[in-house]
Amino acid sequence: MSFRPRVSVVIPTYERLGSLRRLVLQLAEQSFDIGSYELIIVDDGTSEPAERYLADLSGRCDLVFIRRNNGGPAAARDAGARAAKGELLVMLDDDMQVGPRFLQSHVSHHRGESNLVVLGRIRPDPTIREMPIFERFHAAQLDKMAEAFERGLERPRGTHLYTGNVSMSRASYLAAGGFDQSLRRSEDRELGIRLELQGARFVFATGDAESMHSSDHSEPLQWLDRAFSYGVHDLRIKRKHETVPDADPWAFMSIVSPIIRPFYFSSALAPGFGRGMGRLLLGYSMLADKTSHESAALVGTTAAFGMTYFAGVGAKSGSRREVIRDLASHLSWRSFPIAKRWRDMVRADHETLGRYRARYQGEPVSREAIRRDLVEKIGFQILAAVRLMQVLRAAGRLGAAKALSRLIRHLYGSDVHWDARIAPGVLLVHGMGLCIGKAASVGPGCILFQNVTLGEGVHPESRRVGSPRLEEDVHVGPGATILGPVTIGARSKVMAGSLITETVPEGSLVSSPGVTVGPRPTRGPMERRPQPSSFSGA
């Protein structure tokens, strides 16, 4: 019987043999069973063959080398995925670093679900002290996205897919058709759209599934060229997926300040002007960074990227008329970030409701049932109000978010703090009597019954003050109380009435002491109950 590893790690590489070697050594030291994974190195035409450079590491782990003429990252990753023998694909860039439990963490997220895509968090390498301002801009964007996922303000979607740290089943990858090799940019985003269209669920992972990015990009003009290319390719993707609103590059307009939108629009109308302004703004940003004005430099870099990106969109559009037509077709209520975020989060919650209803009652819920369930399902009704509170908080409407929190308390008897992190795709059963503190975190797929408390507390040993964190697919029964800086591992079940003040590993069943049942004492026929003594008071 042929050897079939469970995991195949696909790493395309081009002229980064030093950082590739570091990554391979880290992957060779995984806590995962060494016989359960293979490393597929796709050499995309490096000047020195990667197989020769890493020859001394062949005994450290199962290394597979594929050498091909330079064809770009999409073609290289596709070649590695199709050559893989594992059931699970883990994709990494060659300038990443990982910890010893990286693979184990990715694998643990996939248990019990075949059509799942896990996005691992990417953090910047803190040892790189001279990181260019445009690389810090990208790191800040990744942090902002991670924060939105963790706080429940946004759920991972196909358009968020990045190949620097992601895992999915090989069967799902092949069913989606793999990477579009004609794309030199945003090929990961386009694959994510197709994966979502075929029913894949996306989750965001932190902790051991994280990777660290040690970028070596240092040329500002090359960075601007990439920004322009992203605009060109994103419009290509939009035209390929006309029915997917999030695929439209104009959707980015809804997340930028209204003040800057006319400038981005003018850049699309006049791409030459937009590219020139992008260079000017980046030059200003680099100068501001050298004079220790980092915040101003980041603002300028953001504007430089946006101007250059929309110059690419305009160049691909072909004419000003097409630019105006594309923007006009996008302008609808979906363009308003509060309405769009609320809609997306409520849809994610309803999908979870439908998934569990299908599992336990055999009655799948269609999207058309959302309005009915908003009326009939009190838990779903509460959650819709919580989502509105969250998007108001994210939009800086703190007063409105606080007022809505108090309204939820008075209407439903549930106290949910406006800063609580509740990921999209959660289910509340009944929902009354909830108490969720400001620093509590609830992952996607979780079910919370009535009278559940997730409260701040002091850890009994470390004495650290904090709030609970529920990983994905945790079920918490009625009346359960979870206090302090503890984590409830993924796919755990907390039975009714339980009190938890310690971290619970994934896949656990937590139950409170059982109720003692015995015969009820009886009295004889002539036995009388003792009468209370008389009492005279002033």
Asked whether residue 462 falls in the same domain as residue 432, the answer is yes
> Which structural domain range is residue 161 located in?
1-215
Asked whether residue 204 falls in the same domain as residue 223, the answer is no
216 contacts 19 by C-beta, under 8 angstroms: yes
Asked whether residue 386 falls in the same domain as residue 505, the answer is yes
159 contacts 114 by C-beta, under 8 angstroms: no
Asked whether residue 357 falls in the same domain as residue 476, the answer is yes
CA 103 to chain CA centroid, nearest Å = 18
Q: What whole-number distance in Å separates Cα of residue 349 and Cα of residue 359?
A: 16
Q: Six-digit token pair at 324?
A: 């105006």
Instruction: Tell me whether residue 534 is in a domain.
Output: no
3-state secondary structure of 421: strand
Which domain CATH number covers 408?
Answer: 2.160.10.10
Asked whether residue 4 falls in the same domain as residue 142, the answer is yes
Instruction: Tell me whether residue 525 is in a domain.
Output: no
Q: What whole-number distance in Å separates Cα of residue 127 and Cα of residue 145?
A: 22
Asked whether residue 361 falls in the same domain as residue 497, the answer is yes
Q: Six-digit token pair at 310?
A: 């929309």
Asked whether residue 268 falls in the same domain as residue 327, the answer is yes
Which domain CATH number covers 191?
Answer: 3.90.550.10
Burial of 1 (0-12, 13-18, 19+ CB in 10 A): exposed
pLDDT given for residue 4 in this prediction: 52
Instruction: Tell me whether residue 536 is in a domain.
Output: no
Whole-model pTM: value is: 0.71
Phi-psi region of 106 (alpha: psi -120 to 50; beta: other; left: phi over 0): alpha
Instruction: Tell me whether residue 528 is in a domain.
Output: no
How many domains does the chain contain in total? 3
Pick the closest to residue 203 from 164, 141, 255, 154 (CA basis).
Answer: 154
Pick the closest to residue 40 from 108, 92, 101, 110 (CA basis).
Answer: 92
Instruction: Tell me whether residue 364 is in a domain.
Output: yes
pLDDT given for residue 128 in this prediction: 73
Residue numbers of the chain with a pLDDT score lower than 50 = 1-3, 333, 532-538
171-184 pLDDT per residue, tens = 999 999 999 988 88
428-482 pLDDT per residue, tens = 999 899 999 988 999 888 999 999 999 998 887 777 888 999 988 999 999 999 9
pLDDT given for residue 366 in this prediction: 65
Q: Six-digit token pair at 227?
A: 């920004």
The domain boundary residue, chosen from 153, 188, 215: 215
Asked whether residue 439 falls in the same domain as residue 354, the answer is yes
SS (H, E, C) 29-81: CCCCCHHHEEEEEEECCCCCCHHHHCHHHCCCCCEEEEECCCCCHHHHHHHHH
Q: How many other CB atoms are there within 10 angstroms of residue 286's CB atom? A: 17
Asked whether residue 363 falls in the same domain as residue 478, the answer is yes
Asked whether residue 408 falls in the same domain as residue 469, the answer is yes
Write the DSSP assignment of 237-277 as a string of letters: HHHH-TT-GGG-GGGGGGGS-TTTHHHHHHHHHSHHHHHHH
Instruction: Tell me whether residue 523 is in a domain.
Output: no
The domain boundary residue, chosen from 312, 333, 354: 333
Asked whether residue 293 falls in the same domain as residue 440, the answer is no
The domain boundary residue, chosen from 195, 215, 235: 215
Q: Six-digit token pair at 129?
A: 């002290």
pLDDT given for residue 112 in this prediction: 67
Q: What whole-number distance in Å separates Cα of residue 173 and Cα of residue 433?
A: 43
Query: Which single residue is written with the structure tokens 């989502």?
Result: 387
Could you tell me the maximum CA-CA distance found in the chain, to the nearest angstrom? 105
Instruction: Tell me whether residue 521 is in a domain.
Output: no
pLDDT given for residue 452 in this prediction: 96
Asked whether residue 341 falls in the same domain as residue 406, the answer is yes
152 contacts 424 by C-beta, under 8 angstroms: yes
CA 125 to each of CA 42, 95, 129, 131, 216: distance values in angstroms, whole numbers, following the listed order: 24, 10, 9, 9, 11
Task: Give the CA-trace dihedral at 369, 371, 376, 377, to 10 degrees.
Answer: 80
Instruction: Tell me whether residue 324 is in a domain.
Output: yes
pLDDT given for residue 110 in this prediction: 87
